[in-house]
Amino acid sequence: MLKKLEKIEAKYKELTELISNPQVIADSTRWQQLVKEHAGLEEIVQNYAEYRKVLEGIREAKEIIKESSDDDFRELAETELKELKKKEEALKDKLKRLLIPKDPNDEKNVIMEIRAGAGGEEAALFAGDLFRMYSRYAERHGWKVEIMDTNETDIGGFKEIIFVIEGKGAYSKLKFESGVHRVQRIPTTESGGRIHTSTATVAVLPEAEEVEVKIDPNDLRIDVFRSSGPGGQSVNTTDSAVRITHIPTGIVVQCQDEKSQHKNREKALRILRARLLDKLQKEQEAEIAEARKLQVGTGDRSERIRTYNFPQGRVTDHRINLTLYKLESILDGELEELIDALITSEEAERLKKVEN
């Protein structure tokens, strides 16, 4: 651990010099990247400096206890040694946690895609419930929610809804939501009172910045058409809806929620950038099998991650075997207990790797 900390400290000093260099400052893109990297190391370096100070204090206290003939002085040194040893353990534990590799996407906004799965109209209504749950969670954090595209059903659910949540650290909190969400309840349309099981899939993508994903305009096929509402009826008299196909990957994105073709195009490009970044990162992760093992679940959209059981009022997260009898409050956006448990579980796995 100390070798890692020494390397980080050396890197921090190097970055301190670089961000003060006029030639580097002139290149704003590079300078911003270096400043971000420098800020990311600051807490580790500060705590390492404090840790070294405590180790020096322990060495001095032990020396006094060994060499001093003054009983009072030795007693003071013994008391101080106990306090310093507590500080040493606390700082060692904190440094281990700080050394856990950070997900570079953690501070980003997220693009969430919710799609109705098995269960017909009931699945679409459940997709709507999930959208409301994440919207309420975002509100509690003071984050902004912007709908990018929707495909509504006649009775108020969603076959598909794509939206952005803008807020610092949004991805760090919501990245574990990717997967299949299952609901067990009596549908409002069910006269016999039988419990149905329906599903919806959730995809959580970090929003990509333009500097991360360069899109060649020549790689795009852009089609425009008229927006349609539930049931397929036309809701616009102009060709404002936009469909973008990224020819090299075959990824297709469409947006029709705005009346302006330009705004729909901008929204579609934001979604496309996020999907391309997600594809690139998935390919990189596939090459590093060990990294996948450390994650809470695989993040695979085909993996059943959570069940919302209405008759029992419970929510169960299958990845960490956590059951909470708080279904109503969770669906109202009180996700903190679930999310914190998932973060703690992943952190524990990563901490094992740092210690080994």
Amino acid at 132: R
Residues 299 and 205 both lie in one domain: yes
Q: For residue 193, is pLDDT > 80?
A: no
Q: Are residues 301 and 272 in the same domain?
A: no
Q: Indicate if 276 and 255 belong to the same structural domain.
A: yes
pLDDT value of residue 103: 78
* Residue at 249 is within a domain: yes
Domain range for 121 is 110-211+294-351
Res 290: pLDDT: 46
- Is 127 in the same domain as 268? no
In a domain? residue 346: yes
Q: Are residues 36 and 94 part of one domain?
A: yes
198 and 134 inside one domain: yes
157 and 303 within one domain = yes
Residue 168 sits in the same domain as residue 317: yes
What is the rounded average pLDDT for all residues in the chain?
Answer: 85
Quick check: is 190 in a domain? Answer: yes
How sure is the predictor about 87, in pLDDT bands with cuts at 50, 70 and 90? very high
Contacts 24+ apart (CB under 8 A), 215-219: 215/246, 215/269, 215/272, 215/273, 215/276, 219/246, 219/247, 219/248
In 3D space, the residue among 77, 156, 145 whose CA is nearest the CA of residue 112 turns out to be 145
Asked if the structure places residue 313 within a domain, the reply is: yes
Crossing angle for the helix pair 28-67 and 71-98, nearest 10 degrees?
150
The closest of 350, 204, 217 to 277, measured between CA atoms, is: 204
| Strand pairing report for 241-246 and 220-225 | antiparallel
Tokens standing for residue 325: 């009898």
Please state the rounded mean pLDDT for residues 231-247: 69
Domain membership of residue 19 (yes or no) is yes
Whole-number pLDDT of residue 254: 87
Confidence of residue 84 (pLDDT cuts 50, 70, 90): very high
Mean pLDDT of the region 195-218: 83
CATH number at residue 224: 3.30.160.20
Task: Write down which residue in 244, 259, 284 finishes a domain.
Answer: 284
- Among 197, 141, 198, 208, smallest CA distance to 174 is for 141
Domain assignment present for residue 44? The answer is: yes
- Count of structural domains, the chain: 3
Residue 317 falls within a domain, yes or no?
Answer: yes
Give, in degrees to the nearest 5, the angle at Cα 109 between 107 and 112.
130
Q: Nearest-CA neighbor of 161 among 184, 137, 145, 139? A: 145
> Among residues 98, 123, 157, which one ends one of the domains?
98
Q: Residue 20, class by beta-carbon neighbours within 10 Å (0-12 exposed, 13-18 middle, 19+ buried)?
A: exposed
158-166 and 110-116 as β-strands: parallel, antiparallel, unpaired?
Answer: antiparallel
Judgement on whether residues 261 and 324 belong to the same structural domain of the protein: no
Same domain, 300 and 196: yes
pLDDT level of residue 335 (50, 70, 90 thresholds): very high
pLDDT digits (tens, 9 = 90+) for 124-179: 999 999 999 999 999 999 999 999 888 888 888 899 999 999 998 899 999 999 99
Query: Residue 20: what residue type?
Result: S
Say whether both 170 and 185 belong to one domain: yes
What are 283-331's pLDDT values in tens digits? 766 654 443 344 444 444 557 899 999 999 999 999 999 999 999 999 9
pLDDT digits (tens, 9 = 90+) for 56-68: 999 998 998 888 8
The Cα–Cα gap between 319 and 175 comes to 14
- Residue 105 maps to a domain: no
pLDDT score recorded for residue 230: 55
Boundary of a domain, candidates 284, 306, 340: 284
- Given this model, what pLDDT does residue 356 score? 57
**Mean pLDDT calculated for residue range 241-269:** 86
Which of 3-17, 189-203, 337-351 has the weakest average pLDDT? 189-203
Residues 205 and 123 grouped into a single domain: yes
State the Cα angle at 29 between 24 and 33, rounded to 5°: 85
Place of tokens 């936009």: 242
Taking 90 as the threshold, does the pLDDT of residue 341 lie above it? yes
Residue 192 pLDDT grade (very low, low, confident, very high; cuts 50, 70, 90): low
Here the CATH number for the domain that contains residue 309 is 3.30.70.1660
Q: Give the pTM.
A: 0.68
Helical spans, DSSP H, in the chain: 2-18, 22-26, 28-67, 71-98, 120-140, 170-174, 261-286, 289-293, 327-331, 336-355
